[in-house]
Structure 1
Amino acid sequence: MTPDPDDSRLRLTILGGYLGSGKTTWLRHQLFEGAFPGAHILVNEAALTPVDDTLLAAQAASMTLLAGGCACCTGKADLIAALRALCDTRSRQSAEMRGTNQIVLETSGLADPAAILAAIQNDGVLVHHIRVAEIVVLVDALHAAEQLHSEHLSRAQIEAADRIILTKVDAVPDDRLAAVKATAKQLNPAAQIEAAAKGLPHALSDLPEASAYALPLLSDGADPIRPTKIDVPEDVDWAMFSVWLSALLFARGDDLVRVKGVFETPAGPLLLQAVRRSVQPPELLPVAEKDRRNQIVFIGRGYESDDLRRSLAYFTRD
């Protein structure tokens, strides 16, 4: 969107998308390429043990972490407080001292961007100091069919978008990608639709004609998706851990929507991620100021946290 030169409010971009859609990967590339110059980055993670702020630290000019609650509901008060603090800091600076007027909020994969927009518009302070410039929603083309058929939230996120980015498009055939694009267009005819692979822009031209998926009626009354953190013992047998994780994802991949963990290795901190049954290639991370290594976060439904801990302890015991 073209900013109004007479509008001095802070411009907020809300970055949304379902669990595992690639929000951090896309934002890292955007910042590296100079998009959102000097923007203050707000990173929201539903889990108490965050990872995404570590991934963004090298590219972000400044950052605030909001962990342990989703910004559209349980973490809404923390988000409002953080935005008010940024507004207060800016209002105390002279026009010459002010830097960027941009904020980018990377939401949790469990967040409804429309609820965040409403919270800002209904706040008597923020409505005068912040303008939501754009809602960008990422859609995982590899898992979109399953998510859109079963998850009310994944549809709500698309419906709230000004711009939709189809991600992982290099991992799906053109006919499937065309169906995902058609479905996104049906859910939100007004949104601009783009594509990305590993954070890089990807062309959407020359796709075959395709019909949108016939989506069933859904309610939002399913069991809530919750995060669970597990501390992995330092002396764990990593071969056995890998076998355990693979077996768990195979057996419970429909329930465990997202897995993220950082583990200490001789080469440095290693990021491990999975979306349902799909494990992504591990990635070496820069050394973080905060020690979050040897911890893994499961985000899903239909299981008890203690069951996961007992299963890991039993499987990796001597």
Structure 2
Amino acid sequence: MAEPGEGRLGLTILGGFLGAGKSTWARHQLHEGQFARHHLIVNEAAGTPVDNLLLGGAARLSVLAGGCACCEGLPALISLLRHVCDENTGAAGRQIDGILLETSGLADPGAIARAIAADPVLARHLRITTTLVLIDALHGLAQLSAEPLARAQAEAADRLILTKAMRAEPGAAGDLLATLRLLNPAADISGAELGLAVALPEPGTARLLAGPERQAPIRPWRLDVGAEGAWVALSTWLSALLAARGEDVVRVKGVVRTPAGRLLLQSVRRVVQPPEILPETELAGPAPEEGVIVLIGRNFDAAMLERSWRLFGPG
């Protein structure tokens, strides 16, 4: 690891499985003044960016959508990182203190770190200061057991942040904490609730993680639900979908126009988060595409989702 005095720009990698709370955590850090002079890069595997809507406090923000930054989106990430480094070492001198990369929930931070180290330009201009990985206490044990990616994310971390522990089943958060300490004993572990630092639960019993079964890959799907008048039908459709296929739905997010304004809808597995009304003012990054829902999961296809939506959709 490079020393700070070497003059290279610091890069913080923020990772975690789908729905772990990365954008919520980053938004709180920006509100508290952390990363105030950082260039924030948000990567979304889906082609419709949503998470940047929560990060209006960023001084500089770039969005990489439509490809995971550790695989198909890696060339775009390398190109953007080179551009940021060039700008920061140009005639105007250093304008930022570092880069915060919020990865897609489908990204392996270790693969990104290896790619940066192998790039001759970035190896001279960047140093990875910390790899932060958020672990969702509601679903963490199941994800670590069933999803090889979730385990790879936890193993790659310098710091693990346990989220949603206050909402987990009694004892589950403590068992997850003990399991993480067994899985990555070198990592520093802390707790957070809605981005705010909280105390860790009492350690429980470490779980022996079963070998993950071979499953269909997790993919994003885009569903056009209409720019206006879709909220009642959408909430009914989503409730029915989660009841019938909740184990296959990993994440749902999107922006819908309602009588109250623009509504940000998000769910993780079968847990639908309280909808958030977005301000009508311009937000950081690309403007939201209203009336488009991104569903991330497995064992779906676009035609089936369209047929299902037409049964509930308005008109």
1:240 corresponds to 2:239: no
1:88 corresponds to 2:86: yes
Alpha-carbon distance between aligned partners in 2 of 1:128 and 1:248, rounded to the nearest angstrom: 49
- Corresponding position of 1:286: 279
1:258 corresponds to 2:255: no
Contact 1:20 1:275 in 2 (8 A): yes
- Corresponding position of 1:115: 111
Alpha-carbon distance change, 34 to 174 in structure 1, aligned in 2, over 3 angstroms: farther
Residue identity (%): 51
What stretches of structure 1 of length at least 5 have no aligned partner? none
Residues 81-119 of structure 1: CA deviation (Å, up to 9, x unaligned): 00000111112135xx42223100000000000000000
The alpha carbon displacement at 1:223 in A equals: 1.8
What is the number of equivalent residue pairs in this alignment? 311
TM-score, reference length from structure 1: 0.93
Counterparts of residues 1-318 of structure 1 (less than 5 Å): 4-56=3-55, 58-94=56-92, 97-204=93-200, 207=202, 209-218=203-212, 221-234=214-227, 236=229, 238-287=231-280, 288=282, 290-316=287-313, 318=315
Residues 157-205 of structure 1: CA deviation (Å, up to 9, x unaligned): 0000000000011202452111010111111000000011111111116
Contact 2:138 2:169 in 1 (8 A): no
What stretches of structure 2 of length at least 5 have no aligned partner? none
Residue type of the alignment partner of 1:59: G
Alpha-carbon distance between aligned partners in 1 of 2:4 and 2:115, rounded to the nearest angstrom: 25
Residue type of the alignment partner of 1:292: E
The alpha carbon displacement at 1:233 in A equals: 2.1
Contact 1:261 1:295 in 2 (8 A): yes
The alpha carbon displacement at 1:145 in A equals: 2.0
- Helix, strand or coil at the partner of 1:6: helix
Residue type of the alignment partner of 1:22: G
Contact 1:264 1:293 in 2 (8 A): yes
Alpha-carbon distance between aligned partners in 2 of 1:68 and 1:284, rounded to the nearest angstrom: 25
Alpha-carbon distance between aligned partners in 1 of 2:288 and 2:105, rounded to the nearest angstrom: 23
**Higher mean C-alpha deviation, range 63-72 or range 280-289:** 280-289
Alpha-carbon distance change, 83 to 245 in structure 1, aligned in 2, over 3 angstroms: same
Residue type of the alignment partner of 2:62: T
- Helix, strand or coil at the partner of 1:194: strand
Alpha-carbon distance between aligned partners in 2 of 1:59 and 1:210, rounded to the nearest angstrom: 37
The two structures, once aligned, show a CA RMSD in angstroms of 1.7
- Helix, strand or coil at the partner of 2:115: helix
Alpha-carbon distance between aligned partners in 1 of 2:90 and 2:9, rounded to the nearest angstrom: 14
Alpha-carbon distance between aligned partners in 2 of 1:93 and 1:121, rounded to the nearest angstrom: 26
**Higher mean C-alpha deviation, range 294-303 or range 278-287:** 278-287
**Higher mean C-alpha deviation, range 191-200 or range 227-236:** 227-236
Residue type of the alignment partner of 1:212: A
TM-score, reference length from structure 2: 0.94
Contact 1:16 1:157 in 2 (8 A): yes
Contact 1:228 1:297 in 2 (8 A): yes
